[in-house]
C-alpha cells in the first residue's frame, strides 16, 4: 500500500540543483524516467537553474515538471507540499535552512526524507514538530544518506541475522570502516563547520553532542557506559589500528534511536560504536594518531571565529564536490561485529559501489523517498522515524536491488 494522500506527484526533489540534488535527479531520470509510473518533479528557488539542469539531462528529462519554491518562503513551501506525497530535501546545512520545510511537511501531512547529519537540528525538529506530525500523519525520516543508512540498516540486518542464527539479538555491536574512497563536498563541510560553530558558542550543546541518546525518546537510556573512541586504539577483532570515524557522532545516535523506536529490540542495555581501520603495525598506528590529530584540529579551528575563516578558505565551497569519475570510482566496505549476552558472535559486511558521500548517498536517498511513497502502509503512523525503524526490510530490498549496496554475513560463531 502507499501513502493515500491525493497529490499531483509521488515525490518532489527539493534542492535539485544542489551538488547531491543534481546527482539524485540524474539517478531518478535514468532509472525511473521523467513521465513513467513514478510521478515526480524537481524544485528549488531558481527556475532558470532548474530548467538548465533539465536541459543538461537531455531529452529523457524533457517532461520533468519544475516547481519554484524558496527554502525561506513558507507559503511556497506549503504549496509545494500540497502537490506531493513525499519531499526529498537536499538543502543544507539543515540547521540553517531546513526548519521551514519540516514545518510545511508536518502541517500538510507530507512524508519527508533528507540526508542531514546535524544531530542538534534533528533533536530540535523532533521536539518542535513530532506531536503534530503524529496527528497529520507526516512521516519524517532524517539521515537517509551515507549518514546514516549503511550504519542504521547495517545494524538492523545484523540483528535480523543474529535472531535467525542465535534466537536472540546482539547486545553489543561495533562498526568498523574497512575502506571508504571518495571526496567531500562543500555542503558536507559547511554542515560540519556549522555544528562546530554552534557547539563552540554553547556549552549546553557541547554536552548534548556528547550524549549518545540525545535524539532518543525521553526515558530511553542505558545503564551501561557507551563506548566512544577518542584516539588511536588497537582492535583485536580485526588485528588493526583504529581512529575515530567522523560520521560516528551522528550514526551512533541514529542507531540508538532506531533501537528505542523498535521498543528496545536490540536490548535496553545495547551498546554501539564506530571507528575506522587504519592498518596494521607501526604504519597503522601512526596513521590512526594522524587522523585523530587532524580531526581535532579541524573541529577546534572551526569552533573559533579567528581560525574559522582559514578553514573556510581551505575546504571545498558549497556546490563543489568530487568529479563524476571520482564518484564512479569510489566505494566503501563496512564491517560489523555483534555479540550476544552469552558470548555468541556474528560478523557482517555492508558495501556500496560509489563514493559514499555523493554517488552512493544520492541512490540511497532516492530509494528512501520511493520507499516512503510506494512501500508503506497507511497504518504506518506519522512522526519522526529513522531508516531502520520505519523503512526496515522494504528499504533493504531497494538498496540491494537498485542502489548498489550489499549486506552479507561473513561469520557466525
361, pLDDT greater than 50: yes
Q: What is the pLDDT of residue 324?
A: 83
Q: What is the pLDDT of residue 323?
A: 79
Burial per residue of 154-193, b for 16 or more beta-carbon CB atoms within 10 angstroms, e otherwise: bbbbbbbbbeeebeebbbbbbbbbeebebbbbbbbbbbbb
Burial per residue of 312-347, b for 16 or more beta-carbon CB atoms within 10 angstroms, e otherwise: eeebbebeebbeeebbeebbbbbbbbbbbeeebbbb
Which of left, alpha, beta for 109 (phi over 0: left; psi -120 to 50: alpha)?
A: left
Q: What is the pLDDT of residue 184?
A: 61
How far apart, in whole angstroms, are the C-alpha atoms of residue 194 and residue 119?
Answer: 12
Least reliable range by pLDDT among 88-92, 181-185, 202-206, 382-386: 181-185
205, pLDDT greater than 80: no
Higher pLDDT, 394 or 189: 394
Higher pLDDT, 198 or 281: 281
H or E stretch including 237? none
71, pLDDT greater than 90: yes
Higher pLDDT, 150 or 309: 150
Q: What is the pLDDT of residue 204?
A: 79
Average pLDDT over residues 103-110: 98
Q: What is the pLDDT of residue 186?
A: 65
- The verdict on pTM exceeding 0.85 is yes
Average pLDDT over residues 183-202: 72
Q: How confident is the model at residue 2 (pLDDT cuts 50, 70, 90)?
A: very low
317, pLDDT greater than 80: no
Cα–Cα separations (whole angstroms), residue 100 to 69, 128, 169: 11, 12, 39
The mean pLDDT of the chain is: 92
- CA atoms within 13 A of residue 368's CA, in its CB half-sphere: 37
Percent of all residues in the chain with a pLDDT value above 70, rounded to a whole number: 95
Q: How confident is the model at residue 141 (pLDDT cuts 50, 70, 90)?
A: very high
Higher pLDDT, 110 or 187: 110
Q: What is the pLDDT of residue 318?
A: 65
1, pLDDT greater than 50: no
Average pLDDT over residues 211-235: 90
What cell was used for 251? 550514526
Average pLDDT over residues 405-411: 98
Higher pLDDT, 357 or 405: 405
Q: How confident is the model at residue 36 (pLDDT cuts 50, 70, 90)?
A: confident
Burial per residue of 290-305, b for 16 or more beta-carbon CB atoms within 10 angstroms, e otherwise: ebbeeeeebbebbbee
191, pLDDT greater than 80: no
Q: How confident is the model at residue 151 (pLDDT cuts 50, 70, 90)?
A: very high
Q: How confident is the model at residue 197 (pLDDT cuts 50, 70, 90)?
A: confident
Amino acid at each position: 500500500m502507499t501513502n493515500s494522500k491525493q497529490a499531483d506527484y509521488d515525490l518532489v526533489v527539493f534542492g535539485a540543483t544542489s551538488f547531491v540534488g543534481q546527482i539524485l535527479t540524474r539517478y531518478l531520470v535514468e532509472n525511473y524516467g521523467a513521465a513513467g509510473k513514478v510521478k515526480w518533479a524537481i524544485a528549488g528557488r531558481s527556475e532558470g537553474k532548474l530548467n538548465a539542469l533539465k536541459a543538461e539531462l537531455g531529452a529523457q528529462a524533457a517532461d520533468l515538471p519544475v516547481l519554484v519554491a524558496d527554502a525561506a518562503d513558507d507559503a511556497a513551501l506549503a504549496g509545494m507540499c500540497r502537490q506531493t506525497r513525499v519531499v526529498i530535501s537536499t538543502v543544507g546545512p539543515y540547521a540553517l535552512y531546513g526548519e521551514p520545510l519540516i514545518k510545511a511537511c508536518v502541517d500538510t501531512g507530507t512524508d519527508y526524507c533528507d540526508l542531514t547529519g546535524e544531530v542538534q537540528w534533528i533533536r530540535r525538529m523532533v521536539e518542535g514538530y513530532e506531536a503534530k506530525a503524529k496527528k497529520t500523519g507526516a512521516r519524517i525520516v532524517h539521515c537517509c544518506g551515507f549518514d546514516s543508512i549503511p550504519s542504521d540498516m547495517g545494524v538492523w540486518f545484523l540483528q535480523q541475522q543474529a535472531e535467525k542464527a542465535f534466537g536472540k539479538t546482539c547486545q553489543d555491536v561495533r562498526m568498523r570502516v574497512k575502506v571508504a574512497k571518495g571526496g567531500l563536498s562543500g555542503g558536507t563541510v559547511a554542515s560540519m563547520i556549522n555544528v562546530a560553530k554552534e557547539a563552540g558558542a554553547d556549552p549546553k550543546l557541547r554536552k548534548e553532542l556528547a550524549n549518545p541518546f540525545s535524539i532518543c525518546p525521553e526515558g530511553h537510556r542505558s545503564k551501561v557506559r557507551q563506548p566512544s573512541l577518542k584516539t588511536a586504539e588497537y582492535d583485536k577483532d580485526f588485528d588493526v589500528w583504529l581512529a575515530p570515524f567522523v560520521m560516528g557522532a551522528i550514526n551512533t545516535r541514529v542507531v540508538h534511536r532506531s533501537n528505542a523506536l523498535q521498543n528496545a529490540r536490540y536490548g535496553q542495555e545495547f551498546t554501539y560504536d564506530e571507528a575506522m581501520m587504519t592498518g596494521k603495525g607501526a604504519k597503522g598506528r601512526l596513521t590512526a594518531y594522524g587522523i585523530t590529530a587532524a580531526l581535532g584540529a579541524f573541529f577546534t579551528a572551526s569552533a573559533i571565529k579567528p581560525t574559522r575563516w582559514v578553514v573556510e578558505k581551505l575546504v571545498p565551497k558549497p556546490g563543489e564536490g568530487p568529479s563524476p569519475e571520482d564518484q564512479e570510482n569510489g566505494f566503501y566496505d563496512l564491517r560489523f561485529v555483534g555479540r550476544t549476552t552469552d558470548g555468541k558472535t556474528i560478523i557482517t559486511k555492508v558495501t556500496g559501489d560509489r563514493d559514499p558521500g555523493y554517488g552512493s548517498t544520492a541512490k540511497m536517498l532516492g530509494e528512501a523517498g520511493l520507499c516512503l511513497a510506494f512501500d508503506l502502509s497507511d497504518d504506518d503512523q506519522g512522526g519522526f522515524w529513522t531508516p531502520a525503524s520505519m523503512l526496515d526490510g522494504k528499504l533493504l530490498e531497494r538498496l540491494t536491488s537498485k542502489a548498489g549496496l550489499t549486506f552479507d554475513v561473513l561469520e557466525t560463531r
